[in-house]
């Protein structure tokens, strides 16, 4: 299995939820542009083994950056189709949010709760 990255959020259920990019067909990291999907896995302890839960976002989705919104919903910023998805639970369903075209998103949360997203679309831009 070839995977990339991985980010964790502790859920209201007390479990640690991991979203990680995985190349579906085992072709290696060079296949990420067409073969990467985002898998969801859970563990009771972040230093323990994570168990696969489900495919959160199918290909093409890569480089997951999950965050919690102020209303408690979950957001996944990512490279690929849609670039931003949301769900009321860490288990989905994940629904696309309309937005800008963003390559390699770098989400940020301001202390006032506002979301910003840095995008590398040839030049680095920040959107709010």
Distance (Å, whole) CA 70 – CA 29: 34
DSSP string, 67-118: EE-TTS-EEEEEEETTSEEEESSTT---EE------SS-EEEE-TTS-EEEE
**pLDDT tens, the chain, 128 aa long:** 788 889 999 999 999 999 999 998 777 888 888 889 999 999 999 999 999 999 999 988 999 999 998 899 999 999 988 889 999 999 999 999 887 778 888 888 888 888 888 888 777 777 76
pLDDT of residue 102: 81
pLDDT of residue 30: 81
Distance (Å, whole) CA 63 – CA 51: 19
Global pTM reads: 0.89
Other Cβ atoms closer than 10 A to 32: 20
Distance (Å, whole) CA 39 – CA 110: 27
Query: Which residue, among 96, 69, 70, 77, has the nearest Cα to 19 in the 3D structure?
Result: 77
């Amino acid at each position: 299995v070839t995977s990339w990255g991985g980010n964790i959020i502790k859920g209201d259920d007390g479990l640690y939820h991991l979203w990680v990019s995985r190349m579906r067909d085992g072709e290696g990291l060079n296949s990420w542009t067409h073969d990467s999907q985002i898998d969801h896995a859970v563990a009771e302890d972040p230093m323990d083994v994570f168990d696969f839960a489900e495919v959160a976002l199918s290909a093409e989705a890569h480089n997951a950056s999950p965050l919690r919104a102020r209303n408690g919903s979950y957001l996944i910023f990512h490279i690929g189709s849609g670039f931003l998805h949301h769900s009321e639970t860490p288990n989905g369903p994940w629904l696309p949010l309309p937005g800008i075209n963003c390559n390699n998103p770098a989400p940020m949360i301001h202390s006032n709760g506002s979301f910003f997203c840095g995008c590398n679309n040839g030049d680095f831009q920040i959107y709010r």
